[in-house]
Structure 1
Amino acid sequence: MSANKTNKRLSDIPFSVLDLSPIVAGGSPAESFRNTLDLARHVEKWGYHRYWLAEHHNMPFVASSATSVVIAHVAAGTSTIRVGSGGIMLPNHSPLVIAEQFGTLESLFPGRIDLGLGRAPGTDQRTAFALRRDIRNGGQDFPDQLDELRAYFDPSLASGPMHVRAIPGEGLTIPIWLLGSSSFSAQLAGQLGLPFAYASHFSPANTVPAMELYRRTFQPSKMLEKPYAMVGVNVIAADTDEEANRLGTTLQQQFLNLIRGHEAPLPPPVDSMEGLWSEHEKQALQQQLGSSIFGSPETVKEKLQAFLDVTQADEMMVVGHVFDHQARLRSYEIVADIIKS
């Protein structure tokens, strides 16, 4: 650990939740939304700081495609936890529409809404075309879209007269986060003085360089005086390492399906992945899921602390793809107990 790093403990930082409202094999989106709200109510009670939902499309295992609608569902069913997007894929939308949607959410649930933004499509190219109708720029105009969106909330940021206004939206203070798995969003978030969330849960290799780039390029803003960085991390906790590793095979199978181009609802766990993947596929998954933590309370605590030591994150966002809803609740409860201990 370098001399400029501090010895943060798990209890020193907030922990939050990223949810995709997973659709499990044999389940339905309606069931997924009921489980999402149930999980949100539990983690609010257990002391988690925020609850984010992610935009993905044309994926049979993700129900949170209409992300703003699901955010409203969760915010209406809870009372204190912050609720937001992790994230809205801005190139899929008109900035005005997003400003109006999140202006509406903030007006309904004041002081509780976050707007996390990404520049990837969150889907395949055909679906991106169905969403955008024009995918030629590949998200290269994301900084311009971001400037337009921010100006709808705060017209003082506009480069010229605002002939179109976001109502509701204008004048509201909604924290805008940039999400990413590369250096692009890290540097842009730093330059604009915005909080940054790194997707370590599916792109672990670049985590530390992206965090360091964000902090190095950070410029204070009206929103933030100093950098604030969050990392996503897959955590599946159970009473024993053996049970956690078994539950974790659901996530491994999901990513194996993605590698093979065979998208399907979230599969039930299996006793072993041996025989299900080739050696090449196993190595590819270990690379993509390298920061994932499966284990008993003792194992999870040790590995979470090690991850915090490396990243020096200001906040961690836990992702828990578990097939059985009760086991998923138990996993988040164990993490909550670890943080408090």
Structure 2
Amino acid sequence: MATLSETKFSILELAPVRENHSIEFSLRHALELAQHAEMLGYDRLWLAEHHNMDGIASSATAVLLGFIAANTRTLRLGSGGIMLPNHAPLVVAEQFGTLATLYPNRIELGLGRAPGTDQMTMRALRRGRQETEDQFPQDVLEILQYFKDPEPQQRIVATPGQSTHVPVWLLGSSLFSAQLAAKLGLPYSFASHFAPRMLHQAIALYRENFQPSEYLSQPYVSMGVPTIVAATDAEAQYLATSGYQRVLSLMSGQSLKLKPPVETMQGLWSPMEQLSVQNFYAMAQIGSPETVKRGLQDLLDKTQVDEFIFTCDIYDTAKRLENFSLLMDIKQSG
């Protein structure tokens, strides 16, 4: 039976923009979190690509990764993920090939199949040509080739990018990417931090169909887990109200800026909205270190994942850093 001490712990950062704070504050806090994670011994930190969302500042993912890489030394950094329908594969390969050339053995590329935004914004991102999710498998293969040693007579070569062998992950919240990751022999990360419904089915599909490749000899799975860890269960539940408010705003099309916590959610959500938020956070671990340790071990027992990648919507940045300190204490005691 796997233990928490044997399981890799990583972080997915969305650079949340807080009410009453600037976007620059969020970007600099992302670096502060990365430096904190490096000191604590986290395995990797990924940034998520989103567009036209006022509460998420990691839209220029490769640029922000460069800023963080320049100010850290050992932490592995990557995308969780680059939303491939928004980009030409060659541009993605050049961007991440550049990062990998400047910061060897530290850069990873997680790829998502959805645009991660609305249709109007997607058109603004890809003005000349509209990619579809159906193009995803071919685009993934194209990127994998750009990172390899160029073949004789290969007419388009990513420079930088060629021969960097940047590790590529597939991300997903459904069964499609699980199947593709298995077929290509790539590591797979399930987006259970916001879409947990198909987690167990996707992991089973990936493992059962995995084909060893030049990238991996056996399946490797990570799963997203929202966390709020504090000294007591009561404090954690209080801090979690910032995230609850954010999901409510997402559902109603309101501002996604992170709000301060509130003493009670009564009057802020209806019973139906409360159920929707609870479904969104079905994998969330909220509570004291003892509570969260039990919850994470239960998740591990049920999924046998290789890695947890944690998100955290805490308004207070010191409390947010403490969340990740307490998580690492849980790992080391597990």
Tell me the TM-score range normalised by the shorter chain.
over 0.9
2:71 is matched with which residue? 77
**Aligned AA for 1:142?**
F
The one-letter code sitting in structure 2 at the alignment partner of 1:289 is: Y
Aligned equivalent of 1:132: 126
Distance 2:264 2:132 in 1: 39
**1:128 and 1:135 in contact (8 A); partners too:** no
AA aligned to 1:120 is A
Note closer, same or farther for the CA distance 1:313–1:164 as it changes in structure 2 (3 Å cut). Answer: same
Bigger drift between 126-135 and 211-220 goes to 126-135
Counterpart for residue 243 of structure 1 = 235
SS in 2 for 1:88: strand
Per the TM alignment, residue 92 of structure 1 is displaced from its structure 2 partner at its CA by: 0.4
Letter paired with 1:59: M
Q: TM-score, normalised by structure 1?
A: 0.95
The reply on whether 1:112 has 2:106 as its aligned counterpart is yes
Q: Is the 8 A contact 2:210 2:218 kept in 1?
A: yes
C-alpha contact 2:52 2:121 (8 A) present in aligned 1: yes
Deviates more, 1:211-220 or 1:261-270: 261-270
2:31 match:
37
- 1:121-151 CA-partner distances (Å, limit 9, x unpaired): 1111111111123786531101111111111
Q: Alpha-carbon deviations, 1:67-126, whole Å to 9, x = none?
A: 001111111111111000000011100111011001100001000001000011111111
Q: Indicate the RMSD between aligned Cα atoms, in angstroms.
A: 1.3
Q: 1:141 and 1:155, CA in 2 relative to 1: closer, same or farther beyond 3 A?
A: farther
- Matched AA of 2:327: V
CA positional deviation for 1:43: 1.1
Match in the other structure for 1:3 = none
Distance 1:206 1:134, change over 3 A: farther
Asked if 1 retains the 8 angstrom alpha-carbon contact of 2:50 and 2:56, the reply is yes
> Aligned equivalents of 1:222 and 1:209: distance in 2?
26
1:14 touches 1:315 (CA, 8 Å); kept in 2? Answer: yes
SS of the aligned residue for 2:197 comes to helix
* Equivalent-residue separation in structure 2 for 1:213 and 1:229 (angstroms): 12
Q: Distance in 2 between matches of 1:128 and 1:281?
A: 28
Contact 1:155-1:162 at 8 Å conserved across structures:
no
**Contact 1:193–1:224 (Cα < 8 Å) also in 2:** yes
Shift of 1:172: 1.0
* Maintained 8 Å contact 2:146/2:162: yes
Moved more, 127-136 or 164-173: 127-136
The aligned residue for residue 143 of structure 1 is 137
- Is 281-290 or 292-301 further displaced after alignment? 281-290
User: Secondary structure of 1:173's match?
Assistant: coil
2:141 partner letter: D
CA distance in 1, matches of 2:13, 2:211: 30
Contact preservation (8 Å) 2:86, 2:131: no
Alignment of 1:158-237 (within 5 A): 161-237=153-229
The answer to whether residue 63 in structure 2 is matched with residue 61 in structure 1 is no
Give the AA of the match of 1:314: D
- CA change 1:137–1:74 in 2 (3 A) is closer
Contact (CA 8 Å) 1:237, 1:331: kept in 2 or not?
Answer: yes
Structure 1 moving runs of 4+ over 2 Å: 133-138
Alignment partners' CA distance in 2, 1:161 and 1:126:
39
- 2:16 matches 1:28: no
Q: Residue 277 of structure 1: CA displacement?
A: 0.4
Work out whether 1:152 is the aligned partner of 2:146: yes
Aligned length: 333
Q: Deviations over 1:22-78 (max 9, x none)?
A: 100011111011111111111111110001001000000100000001111111111
8 Å CA contact 1:232, 1:318 repeated in 2 = yes
* Offset from partner CA, 1:150-194 (integer Å, 9 cap, x none): 1111256x8x95211100101111110000000000000000000
State the alpha-carbon separation in 1 of the partners of residues 288 and 131 from structure 2: 46
Query: 2:321 and 2:290 mapped to 1: Cα distance?
Result: 18
Amino acid at match of 1:335: L
Partner of 1:140, secondary structure, is helix
SS in 2 for 1:141: helix
Identity over aligned pairs, percent: 49
Q: Distance in 1 between matches of 2:131 and 2:72?
A: 39
Residue 15 (1) aligns with residue 5 (2): no
Measure the CA separation in 1 of the matches of 2:154 and 2:253: 45
CA contact (8 A) 1:115 1:174 kept: yes
Question: Following TM superposition, by how much is the alpha carbon of 1:226 offset from its aligned partner in structure 2, in angstroms?
Answer: 0.2
What's the offset of the Cα at 1:261? Answer: 1.1
Letter in 2 for 1:77: N
Equivalents in 2 of 1:51, 1:144: separation in Å? 27
Q: 1:135 to 1:8 in 2, by over 3 A?
A: farther
The letter for the 1-side match of 2:47 is L
Cα offset for 1:255? 0.6
Q: 1:315 aligns with which of 307, 321, 328?
A: 307
**Cross-structure match for 1:4:** none
